[in-house]
Structure 1
Amino acid sequence: MTSAPDRPANQLVHETSPYLLQHAHNPVDWHPWGAPALARAETEDKPIFLSIGYAACHWCHVMEHESFENEDVAAFLNQHFVCIKVDREERPDLDDIYMKATQVLSGQGGWPMSVFLTPQRLPFYAGTYFPPTQRHGMPGFMQVLSSLAGLWERQREQLVEQAGKVAAQVRQLSLQSEHLPALGPSVTRPGLELVDAAVAQLANLFDARWGGFGGAPKFPHADDIRLCTWQHAATGDPQALHMARHTLQCMLRGGIFDQLGGGFARYSVDGEWTIPHFEKMLYDNALLVPALLETAAFGDEGGELADAARRTCEWVLAEMVDPAGGLWSTLDADSEGHEGRFYVWQRDEVLQLVGKQHAALVDDYWELGKPENFEGIAWNLRRPGPDAEVAERLGLSVDELSSTVLELRAKLLAARAGRVRPGTDDKVLTAWNGLMISALARAGVALDEPRFTAAARDAARFCLETLRGDDGRLLSTYRAGRARLPAHLADHAYLAAGLLDLFEATGEVSWADAALALVDDVRAHFADAERAGFFFTADDAEELLARPRDLTDGALPSSNGVMAEVLVRLGETTGRADLIDEVDRLFAMLQPILAGSPSAFARLLLALSRAQGAAPTVVLGAGAGLVELQRVLRDAARPGLSVLRVPAEGVANDVAARWPILAGKRSEGAQATAWVCRHGTCQAPITDAGVLEAALAS
């Protein structure tokens, strides 16, 4: 939904974010966050109305239509407030800080986020979506505005006092250095009992019927799934593997997975994964691909986990690639003003497209024979179970069912392509691209699909070359030819992790060099010199209410957790003890916090598992028999296994100096050769697939 272009433009018209541009012709006098708007609030002594959302947010569109396009509401806002609009995907630092304030003030959070600040940016009132008039126990937006404007005039001192107290709570929740445990003279890395405790907590939350952790609304929690898979790999725990596999199977058979076009929606509004909130986010799909691939390695009946990973990557290549090489951010939930309209079907419409002779198949395979599952008027396609069970009911072989479904899916996709598409947020975010570079690089190897690797290479090149400031520092967002905004920790950490996966997929050392350079920037500008770990914003970034630090996982993984993984991987390959020491300091500092609620720290615990040597690093030299050795590595079912590829003749001296683990690795004769390495020590060269298999299992 976009505001009427025939209205005069406000200050958002100069922005690049599609979300901000959607509001550029609202009658509200919107400003982007920045010095001019903040200075105006202080000069005019007006409170700030801060509205934070994102382009694919359904309720953001609703509030725009109901309130921000309303001339009377806009006039009141413009008279009494300085109005600032923020795209949370461009400014996750602001989103984090003011989400904490919203939760303190209202007890809940979400988007659109509606926060009222003093001119000094301190929050004194907050909520999420407000209807235009009072309903369902929620105050009307005009009622809120009128009340707050009056309080600002009559009881400003009380509001400012409250804002100061909220700000103090936000600083504490943001884990400023003084709120974290101090490190003692000796640093000891915690043990894997933290992982045991986290998986036990997840087991208590596990939905045995439908998979997932907790009830509706149900989110994918990809890193929780991965942690369960890693736990099975380390301990043989069958329940951990069941939780991971069953959750993924229920999701990919459910309506949260696009049964026609591939890719996952953001979350399910019900506990059965049937009806999603239809927006598709690049990051959700990037995180789920590794979860699918890692779990599939421990058994994938019918190949459906690997197939879902492949179809998710195919969706990215088909719909999310910018012509310049980067990857776009989201697909909207809405089209033609209705959520889900692009994706749902009428049964008669489906039969008209595929032929009534296929009625029994579509009624069973996509559950069109059951009552309408979307608002009682349409069907969102989902599957009842494994293909083998459906084929048996229909009297078909699995191959016959698969070939027929492929044909019918193509017909429905072609018809769906003629519908009005949901909007695309076509900005390129460095952080999210880093996550998808990882996913595509890993899928390219696991699924033997060079197109995925090539797309990862293109996105990586785009981020490293285009998302740079004049000073050479990384930037966080790009659209319409403009790269802008200083990068955060997540941008650096996610991209560095993606580059290391691309290095493993291609053997091109330049990607590893670029990852190491990003880590050097992080250590120079984001490190907490008083304690350990990293802040979310750089030391020379804009000074905000707090300097946020993300440790727990949310919709996105903890950037400290991803950074810890990157440091462990680089420590192993460079032999640099200072990188491992930095990780150990982080773990030692956080041990009391991790022990309190370990399941909230899945990505940090994945890094801990990697640091404890759950899987080796294998250097793989080219030569005859390479395919057999690669097959062993693909089938090894060892999450976290790193494979570093080198030419048969070995690497150049300068490369060996930077990456000591590669030094002296030359293939034996003309044979492909593998070296299995743990904690910087490599075993004797291996040329036989069976010997390699045994070495990995030991």
Structure 2
Amino acid sequence: MPRPMVMAAQQPAEQHPASGPASTEQGSFNALGSEPSAYLRQHAHNPVHWQPFGDDAFALAAARDVPVFLSIGYAACHWCHVMAHESFEDQDTADYLNAHFVAIKVDREERPDVDSVYMAATQAISGEGGWPMSVFLTPEGLAFHAGTYFPPTPLPGRPSFRQVLEAVREAWLERRDAVEQNARNLAAGMADAQAGAVVVLDGMPQAVDPALLSTAVRGLARTEDPDGGGFGRAPKFPPSAVLEFLIRHAAVPSATSDAARDLAGRTLAAMARSALRDQLDGGFARYSVTADWSVPHFEKMLYDNAQLVRVYAHWVRLGGDAVFPAEEAAAVASEAAAWMIDALGIGTAAAGGLASSLDADTVVDGVHHEGAAYLWSPAQLREALGPEDGPAVARLMNVRERGTVSAHGSPLHPGRSFSAADALLWERSRPVLLAERGSRNQPARDDKVVAGWNGLAVAALAETGAILGEPRLVEAAENIAGYLERVHWDAGEPRDGEPGRARLTRVSHDGTARGIGGLLEDYAFCADGLLALYAVTGRVRWYTFAQELLAEAADRFAAGGRLTDSAGESGQVLRASGEQPSLDPFDNAAPSGAAAFAGALLTSSAYSGSHDQRAMAGNILNLLPPIASRAPRVAGWLLATGQAALAGPLEAAVAGPDGPARRELHLALLRSPSPGMVVAVQENPDGGRQGPEQEPVALLEHRGAASDGSPQVYLCRGMVCQRPVTSPAELGEQLAAMTGSRADTGER
């Protein structure tokens, strides 16, 4: 099995000039000007003759008999901006690159299939990974040399970019056979590395071992940072999938449930009270370069915030603890959810999806400054808040004369919980500072809509809205789901007498889908989000859409009984991976596609009773034993799904007439922390019929109101139900009994 992918930190943040005007010698050779990707357009005026990734660019390399230089990054990436200014805007460097290479630029967020295989190659070659990624390829697409950021002049242990270009050209001209053989060997090695990550979908699924989950908790505890919170050393990324597992594990009594709760609470508290979380608008930055979360890397990504909103809401549902009370977590979840809608929403709230990210840099007077919009000095706080509150807020937020990011600038970093007096000070200061910050230059936004990340947002907003009682969030989730259905989903209707095929497109720009089909993660994240939305709203439309996505995902990514992350969108990618379609079982910034697919299948099977979906989820969970014991930090979503499978998951059918009594029962279920529990509510409580057709959700079949006509809940496991209950008190007792007995008996 391949080793986990850990992105290496780049160098400390600095300030660098912004992109300048296009060279007059550029001509029309740079082909990025018409690309909709914000990242590609950032490079459209470089003197480098950039080409978009595709067969035409590789054919050009073959015709010229030169290697390909592949540069991969994303719009919000600070170090991508740095290398662009230092090297790609430099005319001499561009001339050399143009003369001896075909240069291809890739937006990793549009083409994660490209990013994934060449990231694996980069790690194998250089021992590091990160963005910008710099990879040298044969015209067939095989990698033979790679690295990440290269400076314009040599640094200790790191050659200059020009030195790298010259060395690669010399090797290509003088040692061509060895270069090509090494490239073939690397591709074969990558194919061999996939052997341990194969999921055989027609195999025999093994029951989840409760001891394995406890072992994972103990393994996580050994890597906890007891001082700063979180896991491991700097740089620190929000461990969202691991936190979801810990919260689920804490909900079921076991020898390690208290430890799981403690680990989750300390990490959630540390992040919430740090500079990782924007203390003014509530959004979370991508990661911290320090162990105490005090200096963030400032880009804000949709996928991080969607996962964190959901996790903080689930902590509220669990009940919190003394270290991190549920009330504080509720405020964090609510503010981050509002930030997603307000800062990333495209078009009117009812019309668009959510944008991908905000940039790490802010351009001021033509110069890129990392995090400039978010930094404060004591003098600025005094000017904005006055001679008393200004210094008090500076002390509260650890803003000193010597800045932590720039010479005089620091982010707001309380690093602890607020006292009552602190809370009052911050309550009156926050709106003033937010208004003051709004007058500054703001980071750019990458407006592309990524299907899977919007699926993550649908789940987060729907569940958070229900748990916190904020209908606006549920409404936003429905609007995003409608956008995905309207713009990203092609149901495959027959055309001109030819059968159609359904397809989810990964990316849209300006309300138009374009580019490659969705990857496994896109289908899985969207299906999971839609099932969560169905649980909250009871609208069968969302359940049906989720079933269509899961069926198409099984056809696309499970052909031949083996699961893959993509459906072979690129011949170059397939060759680079040794003709072996790849599957990465490890979580990265978001859950792995395999783990997310297993989770969505498990949830769906609890609604539908589908043995095939349950078996497919179980076969994916067969990945757990070797990963969970060795590397639980990159198996969080598999572990969370395993915890749900071990719990059943519980199935709840809410039947009977709509009204306050039914809504109270429904809400009690949505606020239950039972791992992975599914909730179905009859759209028309007439005994389980939908007009002339059978009830589409099997869990609701033959479920009706109580004999007196009042609503009631059927709690089930494997479609075998307990006696129905009609009051929230009875429901709570039954939930506690079913959850507790499950842990005590070790039943599967």
Q: CA deviation at 1:446?
A: 0.8
Q: Deviations over 1:26-83 (max 9, x none)?
A: 1000000011101111111110000000001111000000000011111101110010
**Is this contact kept in 2: 1:347–1:379, CA < 8 A?**
no
Instruction: Name the CA distance, whole Å, in 2 between partners of 1:302 and 1:566.
Output: 27
**Is this contact kept in 2: 1:364–1:384, CA < 8 A?**
no
Note closer, same or farther for the CA distance 1:593–1:342 as it changes in structure 2 (3 Å cut).
Answer: closer
Note closer, same or farther for the CA distance 1:66–1:249 as it changes in structure 2 (3 Å cut).
Answer: same
2:746 maps to which residue? none
2:596 maps to which residue? 562
Matched, 1:334 2:365: no
Instruction: Name the CA distance, whole Å, in 2 between partners of 1:58 and 1:357.
Output: 36
Q: CA deviation at 1:197?
A: 1.6
Q: Deviations over 1:98-156 (max 9, x none)?
A: 00100111011110000001111111110000001112321011111111111111111
Instruction: Name the CA distance, whole Å, in 2 between partners of 1:110 and 1:158.
Output: 27
1:579 maps to which residue? 613
Superposition pairs of residues 206-285 of structure 1, within 5 angstroms: 206-236=224-254, 237-285=257-305
Matched, 1:4 2:4: no
1:620 maps to which residue? 654
Matched, 1:313 2:329: no
What is the DSSP-based 3-state SS (H/G/I as helix, E as strand, rest coil) of the residue aligned with 1:535?
coil
Question: Out of 675, 682, 687, which is 2:721 matched to?
Answer: 682
Note closer, same or farther for the CA distance 1:442–1:165 as it changes in structure 2 (3 Å cut).
Answer: same
Superposition pairs of residues 292-691 of structure 1, within 5 angstroms: 292-296=312-316, 297-299=318-320, 301=325, 303-323=327-347, 324-336=351-363, 337-359=368-390, 361-368=392-399, 372-387=403-418, 390-391=419-420, 396=421, 402=423, 404-468=425-489, 472-484=502-514, 485-530=516-561, 532=562, 534-538=563-567, 542=571, 544=574, 545-546=576-577, 547-588=581-622, 591-613=625-647, 615-621=649-655, 622-630=658-666, 632-633=668-669, 635-647=671-683, 648-653=685-690, 656-668=694-706, 669-691=708-730
Q: Deviations over 1:226-279 (max 9, x none)?
A: 211222112352221111011011111000000001111000000001110000
* Amino acid corresponding to residue 335 of structure 1 in structure 2: T
Note closer, same or farther for the CA distance 1:347–1:492 as it changes in structure 2 (3 Å cut).
Answer: same
Q: Deviations over 1:640-697 (max 9, x none)?
A: 2322222444543466543111113333345332221211122222111110110110
Instruction: Name the CA distance, whole Å, in 2 between partners of 1:601 and 1:143.
Output: 39
Say which is worse superposed, 677-686 or 66-75, in terms of deviation.
677-686
Q: Deviations over 1:587-625 (max 9, x none)?
A: 336644555434431111211211222552222243342
Instruction: Name the CA distance, whole Å, in 2 between partners of 1:182 and 1:320.
Output: 39
Instruction: Name the CA distance, whole Å, in 1 between partners of 2:457 and 2:355.
Output: 10
Say which is worse superposed, 596-605 or 646-655, in terms of deviation.
646-655
Aligned residue pairs total 684
State the TM-score, normalizing by the size of structure 2: 0.87
* Amino acid corresponding to residue 279 of structure 1 in structure 2: E
Say which is worse superposed, 642-651 or 12-21, in terms of deviation.
642-651
Instruction: Name the CA distance, whole Å, in 1 between partners of 2:203 and 2:220.
Output: 34
What is the DSSP-based 3-state SS (H/G/I as helix, E as strand, rest coil) of the residue aligned with 1:254?
coil
Superposition pairs of residues 68-83 of structure 1, within 5 angstroms: 68-83=88-103
**Is this contact kept in 2: 1:575–1:660, CA < 8 A?**
yes
Instruction: Name the CA distance, whole Å, in 2 between partners of 1:442 and 1:368.
Output: 36
Instruction: Name the CA distance, whole Å, in 1 between partners of 2:374 and 2:197.
Output: 47
**Is this contact kept in 2: 1:48–1:116, CA < 8 A?**
yes
**Is this contact kept in 2: 1:124–1:159, CA < 8 A?**
yes
1:198 maps to which residue? 216
Q: Deviations over 1:568-592 (max 9, x none)?
A: 1111111111111112223336644
**Is this contact kept in 2: 1:195–1:598, CA < 8 A?**
no
Question: Out of 102, 111, 118, which is 1:91 matched to?
Answer: 111
**Is this contact kept in 1: 2:108–2:115, CA < 8 A?**
yes
Instruction: Report % sequence identity.
Output: 37
Instruction: Name the CA distance, whole Å, in 2 between partners of 1:660 and 1:132.
Output: 62
Instruction: Name the CA distance, whole Å, in 1 between partners of 2:400 and 2:166.
Output: 52
Higher RCO (CA-CA < 8 Å; seq separation 6+)? 2
Instruction: Name the CA distance, whole Å, in 1 between partners of 2:197 and 2:679.
Output: 39
Q: CA deviation at 1:552?
A: 0.9
Instruction: Name the CA distance, whole Å, in 2 between partners of 1:347 and 1:644.
Output: 53
Instruction: Name the CA distance, whole Å, in 1 between partners of 2:592 and 2:375.
Output: 34
Instruction: Name the CA distance, whole Å, in 2 between partners of 1:450 and 1:651.
Output: 27
Instruction: Name the CA distance, whole Å, in 1 between partners of 2:700 and 2:482.
Output: 24
**Is this contact kept in 1: 2:283–2:305, CA < 8 A?**
yes
**Is this contact kept in 1: 2:229–2:267, CA < 8 A?**
yes
Q: Deviations over 1:138-177 (max 9, x none)?
A: 101111111111111111111111111111122233x25x
* Amino acid corresponding to residue 328 of structure 1 in structure 2: A
What is the DSSP-based 3-state SS (H/G/I as helix, E as strand, rest coil) of the residue aligned with 1:610?
helix
**Is this contact kept in 2: 1:68–1:74, CA < 8 A?**
yes
State the TM-score, normalizing by the size of structure 1: 0.93
Instruction: Name the CA distance, whole Å, in 2 between partners of 1:376 and 1:614.
Output: 55
What is the DSSP-based 3-state SS (H/G/I as helix, E as strand, rest coil) of the residue aligned with 1:11?
coil
Instruction: Name the CA distance, whole Å, in 2 between partners of 1:631 and 1:589.
Output: 34
Instruction: Name the CA distance, whole Å, in 2 between partners of 1:516 and 1:183.
Output: 18
Instruction: Name the CA distance, whole Å, in 2 between partners of 1:408 and 1:649.
Output: 54
**Is this contact kept in 2: 1:105–1:126, CA < 8 A?**
yes
Instruction: Name the CA distance, whole Å, in 2 between partners of 1:480 and 1:357.
Output: 47
2:176 maps to which residue? 156
> Structure 2: where are the runs of 5+ without partners?
1-17, 493-500, 738-748
What is the DSSP-based 3-state SS (H/G/I as helix, E as strand, rest coil) of the residue aligned with 2:622?
helix
Note closer, same or farther for the CA distance 1:619–1:656 as it changes in structure 2 (3 Å cut).
Answer: farther
What is the DSSP-based 3-state SS (H/G/I as helix, E as strand, rest coil) of the residue aligned with 1:629?
helix
Instruction: Name the CA distance, whole Å, in 2 between partners of 1:606 and 1:254.
Output: 26
Question: Out of 72, 76, 79, which is 1:59 matched to?
Answer: 79
**Is this contact kept in 2: 1:624–1:670, CA < 8 A?**
no
Instruction: Name the CA distance, whole Å, in 2 between partners of 1:122 and 1:32.
Output: 17
**Is this contact kept in 2: 1:326–1:433, CA < 8 A?**
yes
Q: Deviations over 1:300-335 (max 9, x none)?
A: 527111111110001011110111411100100101
Instruction: Name the CA distance, whole Å, in 1 between partners of 2:215 and 2:482.
Output: 40
Instruction: Name the CA distance, whole Å, in 1 between partners of 2:264 and 2:154.
Output: 43
Instruction: Name the CA distance, whole Å, in 2 between partners of 1:182 and 1:326.
Output: 35
